[in-house]
Amino acid sequence: MLLRATFRLPPDLLLTQARPFFLESCGLPAAWAGQARWRVLDIGFGQGLHFLLIWQAWKADPQRPRLLHFVSTEGAPLAATELLRAATKYPELLPLAVQLCEQWQGLLPGVHRLAFEDGQVLLTLGIGDTQALLKESSIEADSVYLGSFSPQGDPGIWDQHTLKALARYCRRGTRLASGSVAPSLIDGLSQCGFEVNKMPGTAPQLDHLQACFNPHWEPKKAAEPNKPKPHSPKRCVVIGAGLAGAACAASLAKRGWQVTLLDAHEAAAGGASALPVGMLAPHTSPDDSQLSRLSRSGLRATWQFARTHLRVNVDWQANGILQRRFDGSGGLPCHWPESGDHWSRLAGADEIRAIQTAAGAAQQSASNTEVPPLWHAAGGWIKPQRLVRALLATPGVTAQYGVKVASLRRTSVAGPECIWQVVDTTGDCLAEAELVVLAAGFESAGLTPHVGLWRARLALQPIRGQVAWGAVTDATAMPPFPVNGHGSFIPAFMGEDGKTHWLMGATFQRDCNDSKTQGTDQQHIFERLQRLLPGTAETLITTFDDGRAQAWAGVRCVSADRLPLVGPLDDAALPGVYVCTALGSRGLSFAVLCGELLAAWLHAEPLPIEKRLAQSLLASRHRFSE
Ligand SMILES: Cc1cc2nc3c(=O)[nH]c(=O)nc-3n(C[C@H](O)[C@H](O)[C@H](O)COP(=O)(O)OP(=O)(O)OC[C@H]3O[C@@H](n4cnc5c(N)ncnc54)[C@H](O)[C@@H]3O)c2cc1C
């Protein structure tokens, strides 16, 4: 069922009149003053004016909470142009509406996280059926807004079942407002434990409804066996200064944790994240698998961060990627809407012609089992080291390099929390904290603490890989965009020497934890390039032959199901030990999202992805007893 339950502003309502209507009905901004975070649940995003108003009030308030979460549902999202048109009536909101529209794309059914104000204003948008989305949500709301439609016209929306579901997301004292004063809504809310008041409107304001969740009974929370226990910010040690560690450090520091980051290398991004440049492309599958959905959410999170912290065309670029499909894999989901704003589609004639002419791919496409290539409009490349450095620049993060952690030691139990000591091979304490995040790639397995009878390890696999790269000498033989599908080729990025370079990756050597480069791998990489882009390979043959093609190798870390591990290791036995690893071959897509997911679990915040998907990434799924 598609719903449009918008808490609409009456058309002639001035902003000065609308503001109290929206804010005061939920006791804002006074209620959020000095709070660490505020979580708003809004049913019916509509034109987004409500979100813009709350965002603007947050910006203007010196007592604002550190984080503002706005969780909203929408059955059929409007086009960005329609959002802008609605906001033009309110010039004060227009600059915010422009920012919203910049991120307003790829809103397929499911959960999307849009981030503003350097990640302090987080919009979690659920597209689809409200009841189903409420089930998939994980929020304890501080304020709730309901749409102002008429229950007579659309009785299914506020049936008792939905209102009960809504009440489950409220704490005692959560305030609710609605533009609808329908008696059935008032009765329904009262039965669910709300104290309800009908507020008369003074023209042009309409009557509206205010309510406060204060049931006569003790509300029961549904048991969620896998849900991590919430923490409040204290000290945290993150082990590993690669993409995973840097992203977790940034997300935790943003929430007030004092983060100490430790790494065995002499500088940040010394492990797999030292890759010169890497590719980001959404994964596609006919059943829109977990990996496919996660890859899109991850891409969105990485590009959001890159847009505000890195230099476009120097550190990153997202102009699209072409994926060849020699083995026929990577089909598009058949349930995707035919028209609209897609992440991925069949490549068009221009894109196919571009690789045929520049890279001599014509003879290949006519042969064998290759099916039409895909075009990933949001694909691109990014430099991992720049991304890591930008994440580590978050205030509140302190890094120490050249320190190898040997193990964790529990020193004391303070209430439900432990203090963990991070020790070196001689047993000396390097740092201590209430929270430790293992983000040491494959080495995370060996750092799993053994406490009392708890004897388990993370099940991780190392996969060594090598890439080749060099200076571009003949740009005419390069495709105009990156191409993947049999290895991946990035035709032009600016190297540290200021020259334009190409990069071709990568080899896969399972169960190998050795990051030394190998001459034989260069040959394998060249053979992959010959299949992927024969014309380009032709012009690079001498570069490979005479050793001008440089080599870089690193070790990926994967889990058995190829999905990241994010969350507590064992909340009961090892309180305060979290994991973020197994980013596999997609660390650039996953890291920023996984950092936010880890922080969301820790603080009982709205999750940035569907709850079921987040649960399937929990680190506890892949440990085995020794
Ligand atoms: C050849 C190759 C090509 C790739 N191409 C792409 C690509 O195109 N796109 C993409 O998205 N991803 C790509 N990847 C994957 C990506 O590089 C990884 O997913 C990502 O870098 C993993 O980040 P991480 O932080 O988990 O691990 P790492 O970057 O390896 O960081 C782990 C850190 O932990 C530290 N550490 C380990 N043990 C200890 C200890 N005991 N004490 C202290 N510190 C410790 C290490 O020094 C290291 O710095 C590629 C990987 C390889 C190898």
pLDDT digits (tens, 9 = 90+) for 389-426: 999 999 999 999 999 999 999 987 666 678 999 999 99
**In the prediction, which pLDDT does 130 show?**
83
**In the prediction, which pLDDT does 513 show?**
94
pLDDT at 544 over 50: yes
Q: Which residue has the tokens 């299914």?
A: 156
- Beta strand pairing status for 397-401 and 509-510? unpaired
**74 and 110 assigned to the same domain:** yes
Q: Which protein residue's CA is at the shortest distance from atom 48 of ligand 1?
A: 271
Q: Which atom of ligand 1 is nearest to the CA of 554?
A: 53
Q: Which atom of ligand 1 is nearest to the CA of 271?
A: 30
Amino acid identity at 478: M
The three-state secondary structure class of 309 is helix
Amino acid identity at 383: K
Interval 170-191 mean pLDDT: 91
Distances (CA, A) of 580 to 65, 406, 599: 27, 18, 11
Residue 389, token pair as written in the block: 């450095």
**162 and 266 assigned to the same domain:** no
Expressed in angstroms and rounded, the spacing between residue 104 Cα and the centre of ligand 1 is 31
**66 and 37 assigned to the same domain:** yes
| pLDDT per residue as tens digits for the range 211-222 | 999 999 998 877
Cβ atoms of 73 and 126 within 8 Å: the answer is: yes
**In the prediction, which pLDDT does 603 show?**
94
Q: What is the overall mean pLDDT for the chain?
A: 89
**Number of domains forming the structure of the chain:** 3
Quote the CA–CA distance of 565 and 559 in Å, as a whole number: 7
64 assigned to some structural domain: yes
| pLDDT per residue as tens digits for the range 141-177 | 999 998 655 445 455 567 888 888 889 999 999 999 9
Q: Which atom of ligand 1 is nearest to the CA of 245?
A: 25
Write the CATH number for 519: 3.30.9.10
Expressed in angstroms and rounded, the spacing between residue 537 Cα and the centre of ligand 1 is 28
Q: Which protein residue's CA is at the shortest distance from atom 41 of ligand 1?
A: 405
Tell me the best of 407, 559, 588, 617 to mutate to test the pocket of ligand 1, counting ligand atoms within 8 Å of each CB and taking the most: 588
- Domain encompassing residue 526: 321-377+462-558
Tell me the best of 580, 585, 586 to mutate to test the pocket of ligand 1, counting ligand atoms within 8 Å of each CB and taking the most: 585
Interval 521-534 mean pLDDT: 96
Which of the pair, 333 or 589, is modelled with greater confidence?
589
Peptide bond into 282 cis (omega under 30): no
Q: Quick one: pLDDT band at residue 520, thresholds 50, 70, 90? A: very high
Phi, psi of 143 (to 5 degrees): -135, 145
Expressed in angstroms and rounded, the spacing between residue 155 Cα and the centre of ligand 1 is 52
Expressed in angstroms and rounded, the spacing between residue 159 Cα and the centre of ligand 1 is 49
**246 and 366 assigned to the same domain:** no
124 assigned to some structural domain: yes
**466 and 415 assigned to the same domain:** no
**510 and 369 assigned to the same domain:** yes
Expressed in angstroms and rounded, the spacing between residue 379 Cα and the centre of ligand 1 is 21
**In the prediction, which pLDDT does 16 show?**
66
∠ Cα 112 114 118 (to 5°): 150
1 assigned to some structural domain: no
Write the CATH number for 243: 3.50.50.60
Cβ atoms of 458 and 448 within 8 Å: the answer is: yes
Q: Which protein residue's CA is at the shortest distance from atom 37 of ligand 1?
A: 440
Expressed in angstroms and rounded, the spacing between residue 204 Cα and the centre of ligand 1 is 58
Ligand 1: residues whose CB is within 6 Å?
239-245, 262-265, 270-273, 275, 278-280, 384, 404-405, 439-441, 443, 465-467, 488, 505-506, 554, 556-557, 581, 583-589
Expressed in angstroms and rounded, the spacing between residue 269 Cα and the centre of ligand 1 is 8
What is the end-to-end Cα distance of the chain in Å, rounded? 49
Residue 36, beta-bridge partner list? none
Quote the CA–CA distance of 529 and 547 in Å, as a whole number: 16
84 assigned to some structural domain: yes
**86 and 168 assigned to the same domain:** yes
Amino acid identity at 500: T
314 assigned to some structural domain: no
Expressed in angstroms and rounded, the spacing between residue 271 Cα and the centre of ligand 1 is 5
243 assigned to some structural domain: yes
**In the prediction, which pLDDT does 6 show?**
45
Q: Quick one: pLDDT band at residue 238, thresholds 50, 70, 90? A: very high
Q: Quick one: pLDDT band at residue 25, thresholds 50, 70, 90? A: confident
- Look at the alpha carbons of 413, 419, 425, 426 in this order and tell me if their dihedral is positive or negative: negative
Expressed in angstroms and rounded, the spacing between residue 441 Cα and the centre of ligand 1 is 6
**In the prediction, which pLDDT does 4 show?**
43
pLDDT at 14 over 50: yes
**In the prediction, which pLDDT does 357 show?**
74
**456 and 476 assigned to the same domain:** no
pLDDT at 17 over 80: no
Q: Quick one: pLDDT band at residue 2, thresholds 50, 70, 90? A: very low
The three-state secondary structure class of 277 is coil
Percent of the chain having pLDDT more than 90?
69
Contacts of 560 (CB under 8 A, 6+ apart): 459, 461, 622
Give the least confident one: 146-150, 197-201, 299-303, 581-585: 146-150
Q: Which among 538, 558, 578 is the end of a domain? A: 558
Give the least confident one: 144-158, 310-324, 461-475, 484-498: 144-158
**61 and 148 assigned to the same domain:** yes
Which of the pair, 96 or 203, is modelled with greater confidence?
96
Q: Which among 508, 532, 558 is the end of a domain? A: 558
Quote the CA–CA distance of 379 and 402 in Å, as a whole number: 35
292 assigned to some structural domain: no
pLDDT at 361 over 70: no
Quote the CA–CA distance of 284 and 385 in Å, as a whole number: 27
Distances (CA, A) of 243 to 216, 280, 590: 49, 14, 9
Tell me the best of 273, 483, 489, 586 to mutate to test the pocket of ligand 1, counting ligand atoms within 8 Å of each CB and taking the most: 273
Residue 103, token pair as written in the block: 């991120």
Amino acid identity at 91: P
293 assigned to some structural domain: no
Q: Which protein residue's CA is at the shortest distance from atom 19 of ligand 1?
A: 587
Cβ atoms of 444 and 459 within 8 Å: the answer is: no
Expressed in angstroms and rounded, the spacing between residue 240 Cα and the centre of ligand 1 is 9
Residue 290, token pair as written in the block: 């977990």
Expressed in angstroms and rounded, the spacing between residue 224 Cα and the centre of ligand 1 is 32
**357 and 405 assigned to the same domain:** no
Q: Which protein residue's CA is at the shortest distance from atom 7 of ligand 1?
A: 278
Q: Which atom of ligand 1 is nearest to the CA of 587?
A: 19
Cβ atoms of 47 and 83 within 8 Å: the answer is: yes
Cβ atoms of 243 and 587 within 8 Å: the answer is: yes
Q: Which among 503, 523, 558 is the end of a domain? A: 558
Q: Which atom of ligand 1 is nearest to the CA of 447?
A: 41
For 230, other C-beta atoms within 10 Å of its C-beta total 11
Q: Quick one: pLDDT band at residue 44, thresholds 50, 70, 90? A: confident
The three-state secondary structure class of 549 is coil
Expressed in angstroms and rounded, the spacing between residue 420 Cα and the centre of ligand 1 is 24
Expressed in angstroms and rounded, the spacing between residue 296 Cα and the centre of ligand 1 is 20
Give the least confident one: 235-249, 394-408, 472-486: 472-486
**In the prediction, which pLDDT does 328 show?**
85
**In the prediction, which pLDDT does 151 show?**
46
**In the prediction, which pLDDT does 1 show?**
36
**340 and 253 assigned to the same domain:** no
Q: Would you state the torsion angle of the CA atoms of residues 530, 532, 533, 538, taken in this order, to the nearest 10 degrees?
A: -10
Q: Which atom of ligand 1 is nearest to the CA of 278?
A: 8
For 337, other C-beta atoms within 10 Å of its C-beta total 9
Interval 514-519 mean pLDDT: 96
Q: Which atom of ligand 1 is nearest to the CA of 552?
A: 1
Q: Which atom of ligand 1 is nearest to the CA of 591?
A: 23
Quote the CA–CA distance of 191 and 163 in Å, as a whole number: 9
Expressed in angstroms and rounded, the spacing between residue 490 Cα and the centre of ligand 1 is 19
**In the prediction, which pLDDT does 5 show?**
42
**83 and 162 assigned to the same domain:** yes
